[in-house]
Amino acid sequence: MNRREMIRAALAATLLVRPAAALAQDAAPHPLQPAWTAWKAAVMTPEGRIVDALQQGASHSESQGYGLLLAATLGDAAAFDAIDAWTMAHLAVRPDALLAWRWLPDAAAPVPDLNNASDGDLFYAWALVRAAVTLNRPELIPRATAIAGALAATCIVAHPDGSGRQVLTPAAAGFQRETGLVFNPAYLMPLALREVATATGVAALRICASDGLSILSDLASAGLMPDWIELRADGTAPAADLSDATGYDALRVPLFLIWSGDADHAAVTNQARADAAAQVAWGGAPTRMDRLTGRVLELSPDAGYAAIRRLTACAATPQQTGSFVPAFTTDQPYYPATLHLMTLLAQTETLPRCVPL
C-alpha cells in the first residue's frame, strides 16, 4: 500500500469510526441483528443472490448493493462474501468497474442489457468502504476507488442550466436527451457519496452530493420529489415515458436525506406535511402521490413504506422523542422489506431521538 492509499484508508477509518465502533462495542450484537437474520432468510439465497420475487425473480445491482451495504454495516462477513462473490460472477460483465444493472434467472441471456444503474454502483462502493473498516479489510478500498472513478467518468455530468452543478445520471447511457438530462432524485444518496469520496479520494462524488442537495432544493420549491424529472436549460419538465409522481422511487428520498444527516431539507419537511395533510389511516401508507397537490394515488399495507413515512414525520418534528416506526417484518416483498431495514438502520445511525416506541 503506497502513501496515498494509506492516507485514504486512514480517512475511511476516521469517517466510519461511529458505525464501526457501534458494531464492535463490547462485542455485542447489532440491535438490528434479528431483523437482518430474518431479511436474509426471506430474500437472500445461500449463493448470495438477492431475489426480487415481484420483478421476475430478478436480481439487480441495486439489490446486491443494498445487501452488501447491510452485511458490511452489521459486520456479517459470511453474507458479505457470498453477496460479493455472486455479484462479481454474474453482474461484473462490463469493461469498466461498474455493474450491469439486472440479472434474469430464466432468460436465455440472463444479462440482456450491459448498462449500469448508478445507485447500485454507488451502494456497492459504499459497502466496500464500510467493510474495509467493519470487517478489517483495507484491501477493499482500491475496488471502491475503481467504482468511484468509473462513476465520476461516466455518470456525473454538468447540469444543462449552465450553473456548473454536477448531476449524478441514472446510468452511463440512455438518459442524456436532446431536450435535457433525465434525473432520478432517489439515485442521490449524499452520505454514500461523501463517505466514498473521503475513502477513495474521488472528490467528484463529494461535489455531486453538495450539488445534488441544491438540485433537490430546486425541485422541493415546486412540490414533492418526483420519481423522474428532466432537467433542462430553462427549468424542468416531466420526463417522457417515465413517472413524475411521488412514487416507489421518490419515497426513498426522505429516507436517504435523513440517513445523511439532512433531515431539515425541504424535501423531508415537504413530504412530512403532505403525509399529514393526506390524513390517511396508517393502516396503509401512501406509495404514490401527486407531487404538485399531494393527493394520494396509491396505498400499500406493507410495513416498510409506513416505516419511511413515520420516520419522516419524526424527523420533521424536532421536539418529538420516539417514533411509530413499525417493528420489522418479512411479511412483505423484497423492496419494502429492504427499505424497512434501511429505515431502522438510518434511525439508529443518525436520528436516535426517533427510536421506535
Contacts of 185 (CB under 8 A, 6+ apart): 215, 216, 219, 225, 226, 229, 249, 250, 253, 267
Task: Check residue 282 and give its pLDDT.
Answer: 53
Is the sign of the CA dihedral 276, 318, 327, 331 positive or negative? positive
Give catalytic status of residue 349 as yes or no: no
Contacts of 213 (CB under 8 A, 6+ apart): 190, 262, 265
Does one domain contain both 343 and 237?
Answer: no
Instruction: Determine the distance from the C-alpha atom of residue 114 to the mean position of all C-alpha atoms in its chain, rounded to a whole number.
Output: 21
Nearest in space to 260 (alpha carbons), one of 224, 210, 323, 334: 210
Does one domain contain both 234 and 283?
Answer: no
Domain that holds residue 161: 1-244
Q: What are phi and psi of 74, to 5 degrees?
A: -90, 5
Task: Check residue 29 and give its pLDDT.
Answer: 85
CATH of the domain at 68: 1.50.10.10
Catalytic residue of the set 52, 62, 76, 121: 62
Q: Examine the fold and report which residue of 244, 263, 287 is the final residue of a domain before the chain moves on.
A: 244
Q: Examine the fold and report which residue of 222, 244, 266 is the final residue of a domain before the chain moves on.
A: 244
Task: Check residue 27 and give its pLDDT.
Answer: 54
Grid coordinates belonging to 198:
473521503
Does one domain contain both 265 and 220?
Answer: no
Does one domain contain both 88 and 111?
Answer: yes
- What pTM does this model have? 0.93
Give catalytic status of residue 234 as yes or no: no
Domain count, the chain: 2
Task: Check residue 25 and give its pLDDT.
Answer: 40
Catalytic residue of the set 52, 76, 119, 302: 119
Grid coordinates belonging to 297:
394515488
Does one domain contain both 203 and 288?
Answer: no
Does one domain contain both 207 and 185?
Answer: yes
Which of 288-293's residues contact partners 24+ apart within 8 Å by CB, and which partners?
288/245, 288/246, 288/247, 288/248, 289/224, 289/245, 289/246, 289/247, 290/245, 290/246, 291/223, 291/224, 291/225, 291/226, 291/244, 291/245, 291/246, 291/250, 292/222, 292/223, 292/224
Does one domain contain both 238 and 255?
Answer: no
Does one domain contain both 38 and 173?
Answer: yes
Is the sign of the CA dihedral 345, 195, 8, 115 positive or negative? positive
The one-digit pLDDT tens for each residue of the chain (357 residues) are 444 444 344 444 444 444 434 434 435 789 999 999 999 999 999 999 999 999 999 999 999 999 999 999 999 999 999 999 999 999 999 999 999 999 999 999 999 999 999 999 999 999 999 999 999 999 999 999 999 999 999 999 999 999 999 999 999 999 999 999 999 999 999 999 999 999 999 999 999 999 999 999 999 999 999 999 999 999 999 999 999 999 999 999 999 999 999 999 999 999 999 999 887 655 579 999 999 999 999 999 999 999 999 999 999 999 999 999 999 999 999 999 999 999 999 999 999 999 999
